[in-house]
């Protein structure tokens, strides 16, 4: 049992070290030797868990996908409106990115063209489906204008969401990300939500930003 626990801890250490390097210097610019040095493990320990750098990238994307699905399931279980669930989930992903390198690296891997191996699905595909589902619910709940093109808006939302984080990575300190997420939603809410319902969701975006910043 103790040996298994040490193995799991070593694996987690290697993944975190790889994520930190992928996030800061990119996937292509990071070697396995870099990861061994950064993780402070032996090459034998790394190869025991991962045969190639691609396996590390896959593990990071898998962790990111699992965390995102858990966020979605949590929102679905809370009985939120569809739009609230959508807003809360995007802030939840932003919080994960602020808290550690794995989810920041996952985004960088997703935007760098790193292959996603089945049965894992590309995160952007998962997000498109989730955004479309919640937008459809928001239309039915009259929280979003009834005449929107759900597919087109979902694609624009994912692009806005990803783009905000990618641009922010280059221009802003990490702590600025919740502010950028709130700014994104303040723009989108004013375009998507009927006037009588805007105040609730504008207030929600502001409150979620403050919670991440304070937390």
Mean pLDDT of 158-173: 85
Lookup result for tokens 């292959």: 115
Higher pLDDT, 115 or 11: 11
The 10s digit of each residue's pLDDT in 111-146 is 888 888 899 999 999 999 999 999 999 999 999 999
* Residue 167 CB-density burial (10 A; 0-12 exposed, 13-18 middle, 19+ buried): exposed
* Residue 43 CB-density burial (10 A; 0-12 exposed, 13-18 middle, 19+ buried): exposed
Higher pLDDT, 189 or 116: 189
Considering 81-85, 99-103, 164-168, the range whose residues carry the highest mean pLDDT is 81-85
At 28 the three-state DSSP class reads coil
Structure tokens at 139: 């239309």
DSSP state of 52: S
| pLDDT of residue 171 exceeding 70 | yes
| pLDDT at residue 191, as a whole number | 95
The 10s digit of each residue's pLDDT in 18-42 is 999 999 999 999 999 999 999 999 9
Which DSSP string corresponds to 114-163? ----TTS--HHHHHHHHHHHHHHHHHHTTSS-TT--HHHHHHHHHHHHHH
| pLDDT of residue 3 exceeding 80 | no
At 177 the three-state DSSP class reads helix
CA dist 39 and 14 (Å) reads 6
Q: Which domains does the chain have, with CATH numbers?
A: 54-214 (1.10.357.10)
pTM: 0.90
Q: Which of 204, 157, 207 is nearest to 184 (CA)?
A: 157
Q: What is the crossing angle of helices 82-99 and 150-171, to 10°?
A: 20
| pLDDT at residue 215, as a whole number | 66
Contact residues for 146 (Cβ-Cβ < 8 A; gap 6+): 139
């Amino acid at each position: 049992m103790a040996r298994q626990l040490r193995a799991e801890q070593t694996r987690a250490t290697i993944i975190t070290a790889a994520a930190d390097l992928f996030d800061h210097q990119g996937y292509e610019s990071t070697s396995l030797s870099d990861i061994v040095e950064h993780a402070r493990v032996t090459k034998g320990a790394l190869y025991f868990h991962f045969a190639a750098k691609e396996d590390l990238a896959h593990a990071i994307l898998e962790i990111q996908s699992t965390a995102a699905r858990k966020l979605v399931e949590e929102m679905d279980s809370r009985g939120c409106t569809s739009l609230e669930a959508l807003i809360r989930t995007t802030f939840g992903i932003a919080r994960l990115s602020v808290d550690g390198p794995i989810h920041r690296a996952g985004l960088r891997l997703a935007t760098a063209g790193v292959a996603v191996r089945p049965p894992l699905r590309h995160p952007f595909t998962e997000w498109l489906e989730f955004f479309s589902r919640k937008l459809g619910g928001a239309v039915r709940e009259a929280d979003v204008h009834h005449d929107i093109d759900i597919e087109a808006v979902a694609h624009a939302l994912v692009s806005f969401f990803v783009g905000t984080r990618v641009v922010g990575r280059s221009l802003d300190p990490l702590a600025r990300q919740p502010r950028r997420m709130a700014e994104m939603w303040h723009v989108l809410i004013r375009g998507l939500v009927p006037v009588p319902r805007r105040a609730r969701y504008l207030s929600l975006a502001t409150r979620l930003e403050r919670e991440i910043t304070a937390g």
